[in-house]
């Protein structure tokens, strides 16, 4: 199905082999819709796509009970067999990549190519999870007692609650659920209330796979609604792990609530990402990395580039190159692949963007690429804005906070790379970071223990975008969680140490004597 600027929800549903998106709660084969209506309007043209329903407390209880029952069956299936189910789900994603990518683009507002890229992330993490299903390894250790064997193993936790954000409406869910499934967990997903339809579509695709394999419903569940539905999950002692992606403010509330019942959290929160540009940087590479990082997804990525920290000796050169590149940006319908920048998610985001530009000027900043809200034909939704650039200082209050919009702050530094690192690290967030340099010593300093304090640190690539194979996440107010690759799977399991005595005696540890 080739993308065009026209969007027909019935055509997309037909291509996805889905009958409707008019419910909000699902345990797999069963759907529920008794709650109040929740409308999903596209930021592309402001039109209503469909209405779903909020999950009621009664429906939530049904979901948890169904998931709890399904876990008792799912956990007993050997991990490689669970991996086979994920492989089949992966095949469905490959087959339905284009219509699902188009739905992501239209409901969220990111470019069609980014929508396809997000589905590709789902495919990639499923590939990773299938291999992982044969590698859920523990450790064997030598016991201090003769005739004893000691080892560690991992068991599934149970229900994994997933709260995802609008900016990656399907990829982040798959990062969690593909790993959780092969680990033997079942999942309850609450997508963003701003992008519920992509959540329902993914749930229906997954439910088909589980049904075709005669597996019980409840392995993949969906709830929908606002923060009230999220609170049901975070307060529920039957949900041992809550994985939440969103703002730092939201994450602090989730962390406090889940910690209050001694549950586990996996938090992926705000970013305030910087690229350091040293005198030895390749300017062309710098411009590409900075511009895509700042305007991709209309600046609504947690890894979006917010700050460009440039050495004073090349400041004007880099500034002029970036400003020239912004003149080439095309803003418009994201389903038109000729456009670089689509809309913000809604008019609330537009207000936040406008307020940030006003505040940076009030604090003394100099706007060198003016922003503004676009009006007229093609911009009827009121969600299209111009990517803006402002010269600023790192200590400005507005610079210290993450604005989820295409605003790039240029910050000048003098001295050596340590001075630039002090600016980069001088914010409360710690997700992604990058340095542009051909100087090996600068690059290694950036990556050293005294370098970047972020969870992601890149050399000669931008802050935005990450590969599935590496663990994704950040430090400080970013939350400290890790998703996706490496050993991120361990968060979805409980760790157990085992000791086996295969002798006829019972020696005690530490040489303690206890004779009867």
- Please determine, for residue 418, whether its predicted confidence score (pLDDT) is greater than 90: yes
pLDDT value, residue 408:
98
pLDDT (tens digit per residue) in 335-371: 999 999 999 999 999 999 999 999 999 999 999 999 9
CA distance 446 to 83: 38
State the burial class of residue 498 (Cβ atoms within 10 Å of its Cβ: 0-12, 13-18, 19+).
exposed
pLDDT value, residue 466:
86
Radius of gyration of the chain (CA): 24
User: What percentage of the chain exceeds 90 in pLDDT?
Assistant: 97
CA distance 27 to 60: 10
pLDDT tier, 150 (very low <50, low <70, confident <90, very high otherwise): very high
pLDDT tier, 515 (very low <50, low <70, confident <90, very high otherwise): confident
pLDDT value, residue 24:
92
Distance set, CA 110 to CA 36, 118, 166, 470 (Å):
28, 10, 11, 24
Q: Is 302 a catalytic residue?
A: yes
CA distance 476 to 499: 37
Please, which residues bridge with residue 148 across strands? 501
CA distance 202 to 180: 16
The mean pLDDT value of the chain amounts to 97
Task: From the candidates 302, 383, 454, 477, give the one annotated as an active-site residue.
Answer: 302
Distance set, CA 220 to CA 27, 71, 203, 265, 496 (Å):
7, 10, 7, 19, 26
Task: From the candidates 59, 118, 193, 268, give the one annotated as an active-site residue.
Answer: 268
pLDDT tier, 465 (very low <50, low <70, confident <90, very high otherwise): confident
Which residues, 6 or more positions from 347, have their beta carbon under 8 angstroms from its beta carbon? Answer: 382, 383
Place of tokens 């998106």: 21
pLDDT value, residue 1:
40
Are 35 and 59 in contact, with CB atoms under 8 Å apart? yes
pLDDT value, residue 253:
97
pLDDT (tens digit per residue) in 34-83: 999 999 999 999 999 999 999 999 999 999 999 999 999 999 999 999 99
Indicate the helix (H) or strand (E) that contains 444: helix 440-447
pLDDT (tens digit per residue) in 188-244: 999 999 999 999 999 999 999 999 999 999 999 999 999 999 999 999 999 999 999
Reduced to 3 states, what is the DSSP secondary structure of residue 473?
Answer: coil
CA distance 177 to 484: 10
Provide DSSP, 232-283: HHHT-TT--EEEEES-HHHHHHHHHHHHHTT-EEEEE----EEEEE-TT--H
Spell out the long-range contacts of 14-20 with Cβ–Cβ below 8 A and sequence spacing 24 or more.
15/96, 15/98, 15/99, 16/96, 16/99, 16/100, 16/103, 16/201, 16/204, 16/205, 17/96, 17/208, 18/201, 18/204, 18/205, 20/50
Are 139 and 133 in contact, with CB atoms under 8 Å apart? no
Q: Is 221 a catalytic residue?
A: no
User: What percentage of the chain exceeds 70 in pLDDT?
Assistant: 99
Provide the terminal-to-terminal Cα distance of the chain, rounded to the nearest Å: 78
Q: What is the pTM of this model?
A: 0.96
pLDDT tier, 4 (very low <50, low <70, confident <90, very high otherwise): low
pLDDT (tens digit per residue) in 238-254: 999 999 999 999 999 99
CA distance 409 to 274: 9
């Amino acid at each position: 199905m080739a993308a065009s600027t026209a969007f027909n929800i019935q055509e997309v549903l037909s291509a996805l082999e889905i009958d409707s998106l008019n419910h909000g709660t699902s345990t797999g084969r069963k759907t529920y819709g008794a709650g109040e209506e929740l409308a999903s309007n596209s930021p592309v043209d402001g039109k209503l796509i469909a209405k779903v329903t909020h999950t009621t407390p009664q429906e939530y209880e049904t979901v948890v009970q169904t998931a709890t029952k399904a876990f008792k069956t799912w956990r007993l299936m050997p991990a490689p067999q669970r991996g086979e189910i994920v492989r089949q789900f992966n095949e469905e994603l490959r087959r339905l990549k284009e219509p699902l990518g188009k739905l992501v683009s239209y409901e969220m507002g990111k470019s069609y190519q980014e929508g396809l890229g997000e589905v590709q992330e789902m495919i990639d993490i499923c590939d990773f999870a299938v291999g992982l299903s044969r590698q859920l390894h523990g450790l064997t250790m030598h016991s201090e007692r003769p005739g004893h064997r000691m080892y560690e193993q991992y068991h599934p936790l149970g229900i994994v609650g997933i709260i995802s954000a609008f900016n990656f409406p399907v990829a982040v869910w798959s990062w969690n659920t593909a790993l959780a499934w092969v680990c033997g967990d079942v999942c309850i997903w609450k997508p963003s209330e701003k992008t519920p339809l992509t959540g329902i579509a993914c749930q229906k695709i997954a439910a088909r796979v589980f049904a075709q394999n005669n597996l019980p419903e409840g392995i993949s569940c969906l709830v929908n609604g606002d923060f009230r539905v999220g609170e049901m999950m975070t307060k529920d002692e039957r949900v041992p792990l809550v994985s939440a992606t969103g703002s730092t403010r939201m994450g602090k509330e989730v962390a406090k609530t889940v910690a209050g019942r001694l549950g586990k959290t996996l938090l992926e929160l705000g970013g305030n990402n910087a690229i350091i540009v040293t005198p030895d940087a390749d300017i062309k590479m710098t411009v590409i990395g900075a511009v895509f990082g700042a305007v991709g997804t209309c600046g609504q990525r947690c890894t979006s580039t917010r700050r460009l920290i440039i050495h004073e000796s090349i400041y004007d050169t880099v500034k002029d190159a970036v400003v020239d590149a912004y003149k080439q940006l095309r803003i418009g319908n994201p389903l038109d692949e000729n456009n670089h920048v689509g809309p913000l998610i809604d008019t609330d985001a537009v207000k936040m963007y406008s307020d940030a530009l006003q505040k940076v000027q009030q604090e003394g900043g100099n706007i060198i690429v003016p922003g503004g809200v676009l009006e007229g034909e093609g911009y009827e939704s009121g969600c299209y804005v111009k990517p803006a650039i402002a010269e600023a200082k790192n200590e400005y209050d507005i610079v210290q906070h993450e604005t989820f919009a295409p605003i790039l702050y240029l910050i000048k530094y003098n001295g050596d790379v340590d001075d630039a690192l002090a600016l980069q690290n001088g914010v409360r967030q710690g997700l992604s970071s990058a340095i542009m340099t051909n100087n090996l010593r600068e690059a290694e300093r950036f990556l050293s223990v005294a370098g970047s304090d972020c969870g992601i640190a890149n050399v000669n690539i931008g802050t935005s975008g990450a590969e599935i194979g590496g663990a994704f996440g950040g430090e400080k107010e970013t939350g400290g969680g890790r998703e996706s690759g490496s050993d991120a799977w361990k968060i979805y399991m409980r760790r157990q140490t085992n000791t086996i005595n295969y002798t006829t005696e019972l020696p005690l540890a530490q040489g303690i004597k206890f004779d009867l």
